[in-house]
Amino acid sequence: MKNINVSNVKGVGDALLEKLHMLGIETVLDLVMTFPSRYDHYEVLPLAEVIHDQKATVAGEIVADGVVTFYGKKKSRLTVPVNINGVIVKAIFFNRAFLKKQLIKGEQITLTGKWDQYRQQLTVEHHQLAIKEEDAPIEPVYLLRQVIPSNRFRKLIEQAFSQYEVEITELLPTDYLTEYKLFSRSFAYKQMHFPSDFSHLKQAKRRLIYEELLLFQLKMQALRRYHRERTKGNQKQYEQSTLQMFIDRLSFQLTDAQNKTLQEILGDLAAPHRMHRLLQGDVGSGKTVVASIALYATVLSKQQGALMVPTEILAEQHFQSLSELFEGVLQVELLTGSIKGKKRRALLDDLKAGKVDILIGTHALIQHDVDFKALGLVIIDEQHRFGVNQRKVLREKGMDPDVLFMTATPIPRTLAITAFGDMDVSIIDQMPIGRKPVETFWVKQNMLKRILTFIEKEVNKGHQAYVVTPLIEESDKMDIQNAVDLFQQLSVFYDGRIELDLMHGRLSNDEKDEVMRRFSQNESQVLISTTVVEVGVNVPNATVMVIYDAERFGLSQLHQLRGRVGRSDVQSYCILIADPKGETGKERMRIMTETTDGFELAEYDLKLRGPGDFFGRKQSGLPEFKIADLVEDYRALETARKDAALIIHHDKLTSDPEYQALSQYINDVLTKHEQGFD
C-alpha cells in the first residue's frame, strides 16, 4: 500500500491530486494514515432545544415507510417521517435511496443533521438505528487546512478502503495479536475513520498506539545495536595522571553527579565502539565542564575535538570560557559565519594541519571546506536545534568520531531512557557546590513599582537584570504588555539613571548579537526582551529575572529563563508577575516558587498534563507520533520497549517468518540511517 500512488484511487483527478500533495499525501497508505484530529459525538437533544439552521442529534421512531423521489441526473431524495418527542418530522436523505429498505416503520432511529424549524424537516448527515445516546453517530473531524472539504475527504478514504483494503499488510505477529487482544491492522485503520462505536474506536487506537511504539522501540534498539556492533570508535589512549592533574587544578570541585557522568563518558572514549551518548543537565548544572574534560582527554589522545552550538552568541561564550580554561595548554579556536576572508582561510589551514586542538562554532563547522586532521570527538549542544543531516556531515568529518549530545531540558530519567533508546543517557542532577538557589517570588501587576525599585537597588550594587515579556505583537484576546511598550515604560520610570536595552524577534541576528554584547559587558544594565534570551545565555553578573505575564509561559520556559540568573555565588532573584485565572495556573506559579529543581518540575508537569507544556516537542527533541503520546501511553511504551528488546535479543527478525514485515521495516530504517536520511 505504501508503494501505491494515491492517484490510483478512483475519483482522484489532477486537481484533487494536487490538493492531496499539499496535505503531504502521496500514497494510499499516506491517505489511510491521515487519521481524524478529533471525533464529534453529538448529544441527543429534545426537539424543543434544537436551534433552527444548526446541526443537532435527535432520536425518535419511524412512523411510516419512506418515499423516494428522483430528480436531475441520477439524484434522489428519500423522505422518512419520524416521531420525535410527539412531533412528526421529515427526515431527508439525499442520494441514498437504498436506505428505504432499511428504514422501516416502527424502528427506533438516531439522526444527526441540519434542522429546518419552518419546514419541520431534518437534512440527515448521519443516522443509526438506535436511540441510546452513547450510540449516537461519531463524526470524524480531519485537519485539512480547508484544502479539501471534509465530506469529500471521507468519501475518498471510503473509496481507498474499497479498492485497497486487502493491500494493508499486517505487521504484528499472531502471538502479539492474541496475547494483547489486538485488532488486525486493516480493521483498526477502518475503525479510526469509520468507528462503529466508542468501544471499537478505543480498541483501534490501542492497537495502533502499540504498533507505533513497538516500531519506534525496534528502530531505537536496532540503531543502538548498530552503533555498538558496526561502528568502530577510535579508542582514546592517554596518561590518566595528566587528565587527573588537570581536574585537580580546577578552581572548583566537581559534584558527585558530574564525576559520575564524566566516568561514563571517559569509559565510552576508551571503548572500541563509537560513543553515542546524551548528556542531560539542568540549567547551570555544569555540563560544559564535563564536556571540556572529555575534549581534553581527546586532545591528550592526539585527536581533535569539535563543539557545535546553535547560535553565535553561545559559540562566543563557549570560546571565551574554554580559552580561559585551557590557556597555555590547548589551542582553542572559534569558527562562525561572521569569520571570513584571510582569517577564516588561515584558521582552516591550521585545523587541517592539526594545529587547532578544539574548534567551537555554529553550523559553519559543517561547511564543505572545513577539514580536520584527526577529529575524535564531536559535542553537539542542544542537539534538537540541528537537522539530522547537519549532525551527520559533522560526524563524517572524522573517522567515526565519538558523539556526545547535550541538552538543558530536564527530562525524567525513565522517560529519557525510553524515548532516547538509541543512545546511552547520562544525567547531571546536582547543582555546583556553593551555588545559591535562585529565590523565586510570585507577585501581581500592582507590585510593579516596588519591583522596578528593587531592580534599581541591585543595579546600584553593580548587578544587572532581565525583564522578559511573552509577545511583541499586541493581542486583542490577551492583555499582554509587549516588549516595546515595556521598554518605553521603564525608560520613563528610570529617567536615564539606568542604561536600558531592548531585544525582540524582529531584530536581525547582528542586532541581537550587538544587544547581547552590550549587556554581557555591562554597557547596559537592564535588558528588556522576549524569550530570545531563553537558551544558554551566560551573564554571571545578572542577578534579577523579572517575567511579565508569567502564566503565559510554559513551565519549561519559566525554568529556562530563571536559569539565566544565579550563575555566580551572588544571591539572585526571579520575580513572576502573573494573575492566573484557574487553579492549574495558580498551582504552576506556586510550584515555581517552591522548587528550583528542573527534574522535579518536569515530573510535576508530566503528572499534571503530559509533555505538551514542559517538553514542547521542538524544544526537547522528543519524538513525535501520529497517535501515541509518550506520557499518556507510557505503559504501552514500556511494554513495547520490553517486547522490542526480546525480539532483537532472540534474533526473531532474521529467524522467524512471522516477523518478516517487521524485519523489512528495520532493514529500511538501517538503510536510511546509513544514507543519512533518518
Does position 197 have pLDDT exceeding 60, yes or no?
A: yes
- Average of pLDDT values for 578-607? 85
The Cα-based distances of 640 to 55, 99, 218, 504, 624 in angstroms read 42, 44, 8, 44, 16
Number of H helices and E strands in the chain, helices first, is 24, 21
pTM: 0.65
Does position 610 have pLDDT exceeding 60, yes or no?
A: no
**What is the chain's mean pLDDT, rounded?**
86
CB contact set of 497 (below 8 Å; sequence gap of 6+)? 456
CATH 2.40.50.140 assigned to domain 43-136? The reply is: yes
| Residue 559: DSSP 8-state | H
- Average of pLDDT values for 589-613? 76
* Measured distance CA(304)–CA(370) in Å, rounded: 13
**In sequence order, which ranges of 383-461 are alpha helices (DSSP H)?**
388-396, 413-419, 448-460
Which of 155-159, 362-366, 447-451, 478-482 shows the lowest mean pLDDT across its residues?
A: 478-482
Choose between 557 and 252: higher pLDDT: 252
The pLDDT tens digits of the residues spanning 213-266 come to 999 889 888 887 877 776 666 788 889 999 999 999 998 899 999 999 999 999
pLDDT of residue 612: 46
pLDDT of residue 418: 65
* CATH number belonging to the domain at 240-428, selected among 3.40.1390.10, 3.40.50.300, 2.40.170.20, 3.90.230.10: 3.40.50.300
Which of 407-416, 536-545, 639-648 shows the lowest mean pLDDT across its residues?
A: 407-416
Does position 319 have pLDDT exceeding 50, yes or no?
A: yes
Domain ranges in the chain are: 43-136, 182-230+633-678, 240-428, 439-595
Binned at pLDDT 50, 70 and 90, residue 623 comes out as: low
Binned at pLDDT 50, 70 and 90, residue 538 comes out as: confident
Does position 565 have pLDDT exceeding 60, yes or no?
A: yes
pLDDT of residue 128: 79
Binned at pLDDT 50, 70 and 90, residue 40 comes out as: confident
**Judging by DSSP bridges, how do beta strands 402-407 and 67-71 pair with one another?**
unpaired
Domains 240-428 and 439-595 share a fold: yes
The Cα-based distances of 25 to 463, 499, 556 in angstroms read 55, 54, 34
- Average of pLDDT values for 549-555? 86
Does position 481 have pLDDT exceeding 60, yes or no?
A: no
pLDDT of residue 191: 96
Order of strands across the sheet with 464-468?
A: 439-443, 573-577, 542-547, 464-468, 526-529, 500-503
Q: Are the C-beta atoms of residues 443 and 504 closer than 8 Å to each other?
A: no
pLDDT of residue 531: 65
Binned at pLDDT 50, 70 and 90, residue 479 comes out as: very low
Which of 415-424, 564-573, 622-631, 665-674 shows the lowest mean pLDDT across its residues?
A: 415-424
pLDDT of residue 476: 37
Half-sphere exposure of 530 (CA within 13 A, CB side): 16
Which of 49-63, 102-116, 509-523, 603-617 shows the lowest mean pLDDT across its residues?
A: 603-617
pLDDT of residue 114: 93
Residue pointed to by grid coordinates 564525576:
259
Q: Are the C-beta atoms of residues 294 and 262 closer than 8 Å to each other?
A: yes
CATH number belonging to domain 439-595: 3.40.50.300
